[in-house]
Structure 1
Amino acid sequence: MNEDESLDLYGLHPADAHLEEVRSLLAAHTRREKRAQGDGDTELMKLCCVQLFNSGGLDEVLLIWEAKSASMDADCSIDIQLLCGSGLAPTKAYLASRCLPEADAALRRLLDAEEAGDFEGFSVEEYAAQHAAYYAP
């Protein structure tokens, strides 16, 4: 499946019944990208992350982080803000509550990005609207 097919099939706001398919697609391309940079489709990975961001679930945070940290290309393609579909404060609290090295790494990166001003004026709704405009036909 490519980016256009995923967008046609799931849209930017997949139904709950389709979220597991989006997660599986993201996980598969993340594994490929980790194996060798360029083996995963980072544009499709980004779209999957946008779709999961729009679902607003905290359960998506570490999956999105794993995709973002799969390679340098993935890191550049997947914005740190995509971890925050539930909002910045809830995402930081969620990551701080996890006793996992990847949660610590994601939290440190979020805090660094926040300190650098990457979250100034951030709102979930506005960020989702930016992606809706980006993916509009």
Structure 2
Amino acid sequence: MEWIIVLVILAAILVYLVVTALNQKRFLKTLSEEEFRAGYRKAQLIDVREPDEFKKGHILGARNIPLTQMKQRKMEIRPDKPVYLYCESGMRSARAAQFLRKNKYTDLSHLRGGFKKWTGKVKSS
């Protein structure tokens, strides 16, 4: 009997993850490094990592608006311009995109694999 409950819970989690991923694909473009590099200079480039991570190294031209501060600082991001997001691996940037989408931002993209996969120019403080 207990294993049935565990299976039902696991199935519910799996369904939730699949639905979330499919919904996310409708509003968030996941870009390869080449695609990201081709468009980020025409967009608002936002690093959603924490300030200490940003200081260790970030994509040249990026602004640091950590996911933990996104709610308070969203007015720093223009809703009428493309927004390119990245974090260390892609998880936080996807969450930031979900938040921005709920706040009427429409042109949202993020870097596949995040900063750890970036091979382009980097600036450190």
TM-score (norm 2): 0.26
Higher relative CO (Cα under 8 Å, sequence separation at least 6) belongs to 2
* Higher normalized strand content (fraction of residues): 2
Which structure has the greater CA radius of gyration? 2
* Higher normalized helix content (fraction of residues): 1
